[in-house]
């Protein structure tokens, strides 16, 4: 191909799709993405709950969710289970239950036609070249190469852009595993599970349109064994799983230091989870993905876009750093026991 672009975006999740939608239309843009349609391409293991921060990010653009994205039921509380102490508490939450894959496809559908979008495409290499960067990708089995002045990694925790150009920028990571089952629980519910013997992060479950989804973030070593052991513990507490319909897995970042966030340099930009912009307490990343994508769309019009992008994403980094400080109250078992035992802000379910 050899086509020259102004901007090349790798990945069209919430971060990449927002950037592609908001960029100045005078720019020549290519976007490379694995997703194809509702039944094909990459589908991220995710509980599919739109948190208030994500809702706020959409509200800034005056966007409204189409009905086809929402799923049944809408749940107003989270059943928090601490397998270490045996305590269970209910807390009110204002989440929207949706199909994460359909949500990503909807954001992708808003990208204007001037952007060259390549679906069902996997980026195989990114290299520095004269005047910018060379991107090689496979589209429907055919290898193609383009060049771009600016390169944007919007491809999540397993970002080829981050790994290629910033390999020393390590960040704590986990394997997110999620399984789908036919719903067999008598009452639909959303749960948050803590189990320090299997992971120092957390797990989740959610009912969606006749399915029961269970997933969690686990250390890479023996991740599948940890996942299965946790399921066995929950069966004893009344969870009904049955045979899994499908199993999904991917890498997920979980920042633990303000130095984990990285914006890029020299015409390379990282947005969304590729930049480390994901909550270390809840793993919520949609809000920061949308915000960072929008900020970069404006920064690319400046004379020094890397400096402008770094400066304007300070608010995102500060927000996530505060969540790092919050983590001990959720993930240090003695402190979590005190909070749950006190019943602070919990609901007495009748």
The total of structural domains in the chain comes to 2
What confidence score (pLDDT) does residue 2 get?
A: 63
- 24 and 92 belong to one structural domain: no
- 190 and 321 belong to one structural domain: no
The domain containing residue 163 runs over which residues? Answer: 4-64+101-170+256-326
- 145 and 244 belong to one structural domain: no
CA angle 134, 139, 141 (to 5 degrees): 115
Q: Give me the sign of the Cα torsion angle 145, 147, 148, 154.
A: positive
pLDDT in tens, 149-203: 999 999 999 999 999 999 999 999 999 999 999 999 988 999 999 999 999 999 9
What are residue 135's DSSP bridge partners?
A: 126, 146
How do beta strands 49-50 and 96-97 pair? antiparallel
CATH of the domain at 205: 3.30.9.10
pTM above 0.75, yes or no: yes
* Cα separations in angstroms, 91 against 37, 52, 185, 231, 332: 35, 15, 20, 22, 19
- 43 and 190 belong to one structural domain: no
pLDDT band at 9 (very low <50, low <70, confident <90, very high): very high
- Whether 255 contacts 270, CB under 8 Å: no
Rounded CA separation 142/214 (Å)? 36
């Amino acid at each position: 191909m050899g086509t020259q672009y102004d901007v090349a975006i790798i990945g069209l999740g919430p971060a990449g799709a927002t950037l592609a939608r908001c960029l100045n239309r005078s720019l020549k843009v290519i976007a490379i993405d694995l997703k194809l349609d509702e039944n094909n391409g990459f589908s991220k293991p995710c509980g599919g709950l739109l948190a208030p921060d994500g809702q706020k990010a959409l509200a800034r653009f005056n966007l409204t969710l189409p009905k086809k994205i929402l799923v049944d039921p809408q749940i107003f509380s989270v059943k928090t289970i601490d397998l270490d102490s045996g305590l269970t508490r209910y807390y009110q939450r204002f989440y929207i239950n949706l199909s994460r894959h359909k949500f990503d496809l909807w954001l992708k559908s808003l990208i204007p036609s001037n952007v060259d979008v390549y679906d069902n495409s996997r980026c195989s290499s990114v290299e520095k070249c004269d005047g910018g960067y060379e991107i090689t990708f496979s589209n429907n089995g055919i290898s193609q190469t383009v060049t771009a002045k600016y390169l944007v990694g919007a491809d999540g925790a397993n970002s080829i852009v981050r790994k290629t150009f910033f390999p020393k920028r390590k960040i704590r990571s986990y394997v997110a595993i999620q399984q789908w089952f036919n719903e067999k629980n008598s009452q639909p519910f959303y749960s948050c599970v803590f189990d320090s013997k299997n992971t120092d992060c957390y797990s989740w479950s959610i009912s969606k349109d006749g399915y029961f989804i269970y997933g969690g973030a686990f250390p890479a070593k023996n991740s599948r064994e940890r996942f299965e052991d946790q399921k066995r513990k929950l069966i004893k507490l009344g969870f009904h799983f049955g045979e899994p319909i499908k199993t999904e897995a991917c890498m997920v970042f979980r920042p633990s230091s303000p130095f984990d966030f990285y914006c890029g340099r020299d015409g390379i930009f990282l947005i969304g989870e590729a930049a480390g912009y994901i909550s270390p307490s809840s793993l919520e990343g949609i809000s920061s993905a949308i915000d960072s994508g929008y900020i970069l769309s404006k920064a690319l019009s400046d004379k020094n876009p890397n400096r402008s992008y770094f400066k304007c994403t300070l608010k995102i980094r500060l927000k996530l750093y505060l969540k790092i400080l919050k983590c001990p109250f959720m993930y240090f078992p003695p402190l979590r026991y005190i909070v749950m035992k006190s019943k602070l802000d919990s609901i007495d379910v009748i």
